[in-house]
Amino acid sequence: MEQFWQKITSFAFPRTEENTLSYKIEDNHPLITAGLSLKTIDYLHKLTGFPGINLPIFLTALTHRSVVHDPATPSIIESNQRLEFLGDSVLDLLIAEYLFKHFPENAEGELSNNRAKIVNRKSLAGFARSIKLGEHLLIGDSADEEKIRTSESALADAFESLIGAIYLDRGIKEASDFISRHIIEHVNFNTIVAAEHNYKSRLIEYTQSHHLAPPVYSVMEEAGAEHDKTFTVRVTCGDILLGQGSAQRKKDAEQFAAKEAMERITAEDIEGQ
């Protein structure tokens, strides 16, 4: 495993003196004019515990997509969506390693289910709230600030983006330490692991055990502004529509669709008894 991590970390962005910055930033910097405060910079310092960070990467992690689409901040051209993609992958890998090592009695399906419960939107938003991440999000003036700061979707995205930033700036070891402090050692971790399986996994298990075609998810509709979209997703098995759901993230809409499908299947199974 150690050799594997060494290979992974060799692909990380170089962390040199040139791209590791102090906490000083010019008053006319785009991030200051976008609403960044010294309080947020201090927050990042204390949260990570690093003597110096690549500040632009961490601030991108806090930048909601509404900032990019706001005419008042034309100099901000990147939100935290790309960092969320990276952080999601890093988080999946590290949680998978933890579960593999600490739950040796669990089969592959149980490990997958437990990982899915830990890294879903609701759980990640809870972890984000525990570190008061929402208070430091950069949000466009034209967006609903209060709604975004308390949104499960925005908080989960920012939490994953923060993990992506730590990985880029400090590597896999620091990302692992952060996840240990704020997820694995979290008071609700064991409760989350013990919770009911996520609906997408349950639906896959059902179709496999009944020798049915695998569930297929497809987007039926995208509604709303670019920074505040709602996705409606349906799930089918062969030509049969099983359920549909709506949410601000596709994977959450898929969970709602799978939930509706499992509720329908359970009801039909009970009626058929």
Least confident of 101-110, 158-167, 216-225: 101-110
Q: Output the CA torsion sign for 5, 119, 254, 209.
A: positive
Cβ count within 10 A of residue 51: 9
* Residue 90: per-residue pLDDT: 97
Tell which phi-psi region holds residue 25, choosing left (phi > 0), alpha (psi between -120 and 50) or beta.
beta
Share of the chain above pLDDT 70, in %: 80
Q: Confirm if 85 and 63 have CB atoms less than 8 A apart.
A: no
CATH of 2-194, one of 1.10.287.70, 1.10.1520.10, 3.40.50.720, 3.30.1130.10: 1.10.1520.10
pLDDT value of position 187: 64
Percent of the chain at pLDDT above 90? Answer: 35
Give the pLDDT band of residue 13 (cuts 50, 70, 90): very low
Integer angstrom CA distances of residue 166 from 3, 5, 45, 150, 175:
21, 16, 12, 23, 6
pLDDT: which is higher, 216 or 7: 216
State yes or no: pLDDT of 10 exceeds 70: no
pLDDT of residue 216: 95
Cβ-contact 198, 84 below 8 angstroms: no
Is the pTM value of this prediction over 0.85? no
H helices present in the chain, as ranges:
2-9, 30-33, 38-48, 55-61, 65-68, 81-102, 108-118, 121-130, 145-150, 152-170, 172-179, 189-194, 199-209, 250-271
Q: What is the pLDDT of residue 221?
A: 92
Burial class (CB in 10 A: 0-12, 13-18, 19+), 57: buried
Alpha carbon distances (Å) from 230 to 176, 222, 255: 32, 6, 14
Q: Is the pLDDT of residue 181 over 50?
A: yes
Q: Collapsing DSSP states into helix, strand and coil, what is residue 173?
A: helix
Catalytic entry in 84, 152, 157, 160: 160
Query: Cβ contacts of residue 191 below 8 Å, gap of 6+?
Result: none
Helix (H) or strand (E) holding 218: strand 216-223
Which fold would CATH assign to domain 199-271? Double Stranded RNA Binding Domain (3.30.160)
* Structure confidence at residue 111 (pLDDT): 84
Q: Note the pLDDT of residue 89.
A: 96
Question: pLDDT grade, residue 23 (50/70/90)?
Answer: very low
| Residue 67 scores a pLDDT above 90 | no
Q: Is 88 a catalytic residue?
A: yes
Could you read off the pLDDT of 118-161 as tens digits, one per residue? Answer: 888 888 999 999 999 999 998 887 777 788 888 898 999 999 99
User: What's the chain's average pLDDT?
Assistant: 80
Please state the rounded mean pLDDT for residues 223-238.
86
pLDDT at residue 47 above 70? Answer: yes
Range from 16-25, 49-58, 150-159 that averages highest in pLDDT: 150-159
**Residue partners of 194: CB distance under 8 A and separation at least 6:** none
pLDDT reading at 203 higher than 70: yes
What is the model's pLDDT at position 162? 96
Residue 46 has pLDDT above 60, yes or no: yes
Query: What pLDDT score does 194 carry?
Result: 67
Q: Provide the CA 177 distance to its chain's centre, in angstroms.
A: 17
Per-residue pLDDT at 28: 52
Q: What is the pLDDT of residue 182?
A: 92
Per-domain residue ranges for the chain?
A: 2-194, 199-271
- What are 213-226's pLDDT values in tens digits? 999 999 999 988 77
Which residue type does 55 have? L
**From 70, 88, 152, 157, active-site residue:** 88
User: Which pairs count as long-range contacts for 46-49, CB under 8 Å and 24+ apart, including other chains?
Assistant: 47/131, 48/166, 48/170, 48/174, 48/178
Q: Do domains 2-194 and 199-271 have the same CATH topology?
A: no
Q: What's the pLDDT score for residue 273?
A: 43
Is 165 in contact with 83 (CB distance < 8 Å)? yes
